[in-house]
Structure formats: C-alpha cells, structure tokens
Amino acid sequence: MTEFKLVKKEIVEHQLVAITCNCCAKRHELQTYYDEHLANFHNIEIEGGYGSEYPQDMDRVSFTLCSDCLKSIVSTFKVKPMIEDCSMTE
C-alpha cells in the first residue's frame, strides 16, 4: 500500500529584476521575464591564468557592459577582434 500526504513547500529562487553596465552605470529594470533590452547587455568573465598579473592566478573578473560601452571599448583596440556571425544559415 502507498500512502501520500500533502506537504506545503516554499520555493525561493533568484529572479533577475535589473541589469547595470559596470562602465557607464546605465541601468535597466526588467518589465517581463524576457525583456528585449537584455540583448543590449553583455556579461563578461575573464579568468587569470598561471602567472598572470591581472587577474591573478585563477582569480575571475566578472562584469556587465551595455552595447554602447562594449562598442566604445572595442573601438580603441589597435588590433581589431574577430567578429563571427554565429546565426544559423540554410
């Protein structure tokens, strides 16, 4: 025989409510679960390798840039980064 009882459980979860550019401090509060403005913010993580000066060994730097700041920073590079179109084409 199998017996069941109802058990009330509280669920706590992280919910993204706003995103802020670390460079210019532009902030966007999300209006819905999927907000089209989220595409204009980029989360970037850089991990230091063995012997690196910054970030140091195995330290990780995480930050968010808006598209305007990312474009501005990349435009200062003397060697332009490769931009690859990863969209699906048939």
Residue 78 in contact with residue 69, Cβ under 8 Å? no
Taking 60 as the threshold, does the pLDDT of residue 17 lie above it?
yes
CB neighbours of 70 closer than 8 A, spacing ≥ 6? Answer: 42
Instruction: Tell me whether residue 30 is exposed, middle or buried, using C-beta atoms within 10 angstroms of its C-beta: 0 to 12, 13 to 18, 19 or more.
Output: middle
**pLDDT, tens digit (0-9, with 9 covering 90-100), for 18-59:** 999 999 999 999 887 677 888 899 999 999 888 888 888 889
Distance CA 61, CA 53 (A): 13
Can you tell me the mean pLDDT for 58-84?
Answer: 94
Answer yes or no: are the C-beta atoms of 22 and 65 closer than 8 Å: yes
Q: Which pLDDT score, from 0 to 100, does residue 81 have?
A: 93
